[in-house]
Structures are given as C-alpha cells and as structure tokens.
A and B are shown apart, each in its own frame.
Chain A
Amino acid sequence: MNFSLTKEQEMIRKVINDFAENEVKPIAAEIDETERFPKETVEKMVKADMMGIPFPKEYGGAGGDDLAYVIAVEELSKKCATTGVILSAHTSLGTWPIYKYGTEEQKQKYLRPLAEGKHLGAFGLTEPNAGTDASGQQTTAVLEGDHYILNGSKVFITNGGQADIYIVMAMTDKTKGTRGISAFIVEAGYEGFKIGKKEDKLGIRASATTELIFENVKVPKENLLAAEGKGFKVAMSTLDGGRIGIAAQALGIAQGAMDETVKYVKEREQFGRPIAKFQGLQWMLADMETKINAARHLVYNAAYRKSQGLSYGKEAAMAKLYASETAMEVTTKAVQLHGGYGYTKDYPVERMMRDAKITEIYEGTSEVQKMVIAGNVLA
C-alpha cells in the first residue's frame, strides 16, 4: 500500500498553495463581508487550467485525476471556503454529469467549454419541498415536438446566476416517482429561465446561492442527459462524487484553521509564556491534528477509489461525514484557542467557523451520509 502522492499531485499542491496564498487569501475577508462573487479569481483559475482537472485532454480537461482535483479544492479552501466550493460545484456537479452521461455531441458542445473553464457549471436538484427527500420533485418537463418545456423552481443552487450551464432535474413522468425524473442541460440564456432570490448566508457568503425559476423554458430535446427516467440515478451518482469535493472543502477549512491556530498559540503570551506551552491547549491541538489527518486519509481514499474505477459511494459518504464534522469541531476549537480575538473579524478563524457549518449540510446532510453508509453496510 502506497500513501505517497505522485510528482504531479505534489506539484499541483505546491502551485495551488501559492495561488491560494497570493490570489485567494488577500480578498477572502472582503468577499465574505460584501458577499461578492470573486469573478476575478475564477478567471485566474481558468488561466491556470484548474476548471477541468479530472477530465481528459480531448474534452478540454487537464488530464488529471480525482485526487489532484481534491487537492486543489483542499488548498483553495484552506484560505477561502467560498473559492473551494465554486470549483467543487463547477467540477463535480456541473461538469462531471456530462462527462459521465453525455453523448459525444453533448460532450463537444458542453463538456469542452466547461472543462476549459470558458463556462461555469452548476447543478439543480433541491426544491423548496424536495431536499433530503429528492424524490419529491415538482419541477416538470413536458416533451412538445423537439423541445422539453420546463416549469418549476430550484433553491439553494451553488454558482446560481454565475454559471453558464446548469444540470437540472425535472419530472418527465409523475406517475413513476424517482423513475420519472430526468436530467437536462440548461443554458443560462434560455428564455423563461430566471435567477430568483439570492440567499443571505451564515458562511461561504461570497458563493452565489440562488433560486432558479423555470417558466415555460424550451430545452432542446438533444439536451436530455442520459435517458428519460434516468435523472435520479444521474443526480445520486453525481452527488456521490460531489461529496468527495465537499469533503475536500471541509478538510481544507479544518487545515486552514489549524494553520492559523498553530501560528497564534506560538505568538500569544499569557502568564509570561506563549500559550502553546500549556499542556491543556496542547492536548486540544493534538486532537485537532489527529482528526484532520484521519479526515485526509478518508478523503484521499475516496478520490483514489473513484479514479481507479472502484466503488466509492460509501467511502465518499464517510469522507464527507467525518471531514465536515472535523471541520466544525476544529474551527470551533480554533476560535476557542484564539480567545476573544478569535470571535472578531480581525482573525480568519471566525469566518472559517461560519464556513465549516455548511459542509455538514449541503450535498447530503451528515444524517444522509449515515443513511448511505448504513445502507452499504447492511446491503
């Protein structure tokens, strides 16, 4: 068993670490405060080929693997969780379904510009009444001649309003339950497709999270992804992979908070010595470090399995469950170790603690991850 990264993965970590330090960290507090989507950062990420890391070169990707992509999300999220989730939602949710299920025509038309970063991707499954129970889809798609007519709405859509391409789930046959759901590739410019309310959130505040509204949106028949009735499978398998991205984001947040905390406890003096000298605090640091490393192994293992073509649903769920709960715990302790200063915006751990919470919720709550894990164990 080999736990070392490849030369490519090592260099990707170094390059994205530099990128995050120089391009992402300096604006992280500002975009959080103002809820400003960092378009300029995304443009720089496009230039460095970060938008299609795990996709083959013939479709505009970088020709890398899932672990390299996970390292990218982790390194960005160490400095700014918003930037991490922009990449994760684009890659895992907006682009991967076309790579996995698209026809050759769909790949040439949509996958290539997404993987090259000319387009930004997003994914629409959740509805006001269809969250954890995704089968309760109320958005409908009715075939009329050469087009499907979409009506309904989606909520909490990451990259909403910023993305060019959306993978959207809609009911093509309500009588069949989850087998009546189909997946569509929807362009931002289609008539009747509107961006609704933008959410005002606790964390990842610069990530655009919006409602999507479909009013008689004509989607060409050839934009049906996979086949009619396969939408639920498309969505669930997409989320299996997406969870690895969110797990990587959570891991990055935890590591970022740890890095800040280690620096702080060495500098901060009380009772005449750096607070790092107190064993009570050392034990907290030891727990934090151990959990982060355990999370990293789970996340990398899930990504590795995905790249190798092995099953990864359970591994992705475990990685996401553990990494997100670790992120929450580590960031909370990081604030505690910073004391009163940690509660202010003068130090980044306050933002990291707010950012960490969403990783326990989106792309399947911790409770959903446990359902997936238990389901696998008992199967």
Chain B
Amino acid sequence: MNIIVCIKQVPDTNEVKIDKKTGTLIREGVPSIINPDDRNALEEALRLKDKYEDTKVTVLTMGPPQAKVALNEAFAMGADEAILLSDRAFAGADTWATSTTLAGAIKKMGDFDIIFCGRQAIDGDTAQVGPQIGEHLDLPQITYVEDLKLDGDNVVAHRAIEDGHYVIKSEMPVLLTAIGELNEPRYPSIKGIYEAFGEKEIKVWSLDDIIVDTNQIGLKGSPTQVKKSFTPATRSAGEILEGNNSDKVRNLIVRLKERQII
C-alpha cells in the first residue's frame, strides 16, 4: 500500500508574536513545527504501516528549503520517503495554487492508495488544500476523519460532525483529512533521528519535476489576493449577570435601559 501524507511547516503559534505596527507575524526566532493536524495524518499513516506489511509512507510538502526540518522530523517518526517541492515559481501561492502544485507532484509520483492531509493549518485555517487536491485528482474524499479502519480495498472512516459522526466507506484510492481526535502522534524516535540525517534522503523537486499548468501556480496562479492584514480591536470581556432567572432578566433590562438600547 502506498500512502502519501501532505504536511505543512508552520510557525508554532504558542510562541508567535504580532508586530503591532504592521499587523503581521514576527517570524524571526519563532520555532517551526509540523502543522498539528498534519502530524495526526502522518501518525495514522504510520500506524497503517505498522499494521500492514509492504506499506510505504511518503511525505510531501511545498515550501522553502527550511521546510526540510519538518521532513526530517517526519523521517524520524518513521516515514519512508520525503519530497520537498521548492521552486521560486511556487512562491506566493494561495490554497488553489498550492493544491494545484501538490496535485501536480502526486500525478508524477504515480500509484497511491491513500492521500492523507491534516484538516487545516494553524497559520491559515482554511481547510481547503486537502479537499482541493482531491478534486484536482478526481478522488473520493472523507474529511474530518476521527477514526479509520481498512476493509479490503476500502477505508471505513468516522467523519466528525458537531454532535456525532458519520461512518463512511469509500474505495481506495481516497483522500482523507485528519483531525486531532484521530490519534496521539508518536515522538520521533532516537533511532529515527539518526536515520533521518543518515541513510534517508529528502528529494527536492522543482517545477520541472511535476505535471502542472504553470498558469495555475504561484502568486500569478492564485485567485486570492490579500488586501490587508490587521489585528482586530480587542473587546472587553463583558459582564456575566448572576442570580436566579428573574433577577437576571431584571438586571438585563436595567442594563439595556441604561445604555438606551430599549
């Protein structure tokens, strides 16, 4: 079985500070991590590898050369192969151009049974790239996967919804997106760390290595244009009214009258 896991290197938002003047992230000195949902996707792929012989897990990411750090961590967790898509032509991509590029690489990679993505990245929060890859490749897709089993040539996944889940069966190849509830990701193993920097090697692919319409990638292939980014004004915490229901209603009416709302 061949599993492709798409990951993104993101700034660790626990450590992120915002430049108050420009409203943008201060990137310097902020540690980068594998996006948390992507880590769940990778963990689930590795569990399938632990369970089923002849399973190969390939990790794919698009980013600058620094994204190798994330791929090495994926190696240390147990991934077999890693591909970094890195080319000036890919830069400035929105979700459409990103998913187009990733799908272009997957077309070049050949046979696969599962493409696993995280639900969404903590820096962009769009949850679009996974489903878009599925559409580019004309695959069935199950998003928000919180439980996964194989059943012959099919996957049986629990797709989380607000107050429960759907049980969805799909044939493979299939695209899945993982959420945090799916599993508890393993730590990179010490042996794995030595393998990551030793025998395992990251493949770096440029524009020439993938199958893609060059008008659909990078900044010029991105329909989304960021006009401005800013930090919303902070709001005060508000007031919680205490007491029994009639007290609360009375107090609420008093407050509303004070503010001349009623």
Contacts and interface: CB of A to CB of B under 8 A. Distances in A.
B189 A48 contact: yes
Interface string A49-62: 11001000100001
Contacts of A7: 72, 197
B197 A15 contact: no
A366 B22 CA distance: 56
B190 A49 contact: yes
A15 B194 contact: no
A287 interface: no
B189 A63 contact: no
A196 interface: no
Contacts of B11: none
B94 interface: no
Contacts of A222: none
Interface residues of A, number: 20
Interface in B143-197: 186-194, 196-197
Contacts of A57: 191
B88 to A, nearest CB: 26
B73 interface: yes
Interface of A is mostly: helix
B72 A49 contact: no
Interface string B183-222: 0001111111110110000000000000000000000000
Contacts of A49: 189-192
Contacts, number: 49
**Listed residue (B186, B187, B196) with the most chain A CB atoms within 10 angstroms of its CB:** B187
B76 interface: yes
B190 to A, nearest CB: 4
Given A62-B194, A64-B194, A11 B189 contact: no
Interface residues of B, number: 14
A15 B76 contact: yes
Contacts of B192: 49
Interface string B203-245: 0000000000000000000000000000000000000000000
Contacts of A12: 190, 193
Contact of A48 (B72, B190, B194, B197): B190
Given A11-B73, A11-B76, A63 B191 contact: yes
A68 interface: yes
Interface in A28-84: 44, 47-50, 53, 57, 62-64, 68, 72
B15 to A, nearest CB: 13
Contact of A63 (B73, B187, B194): B194
A60 B222 CA distance: 50
A48 B187 contact: yes
A72 B191 CA distance: 13
Nearest to B192: A49
**Listed residue (A19, A49, A50) with the most chain B CB atoms within 10 angstroms of its CB:** A49
Contacts of B72: 7, 11
A11 B186 contact: no
Interface string A11-30: 11001001100000000000
Contact of B190 (A6, A18, A44, A68): A68
A19 B184 CA distance: 13
Interface string B69-106: 00011001000000000000000000000000000000
9 contacts: A11-B76, A11-B188, A18-B187, A48-B189, A48-B190, A50-B190, A63-B191, A63-B194, A68-B190
Given A8-B193, A11-B196, A62-B193, 7 more contacts: A11-B76, A11-B193, A15-B188, A15-B190, A47-B186, A47-B189, A48-B188
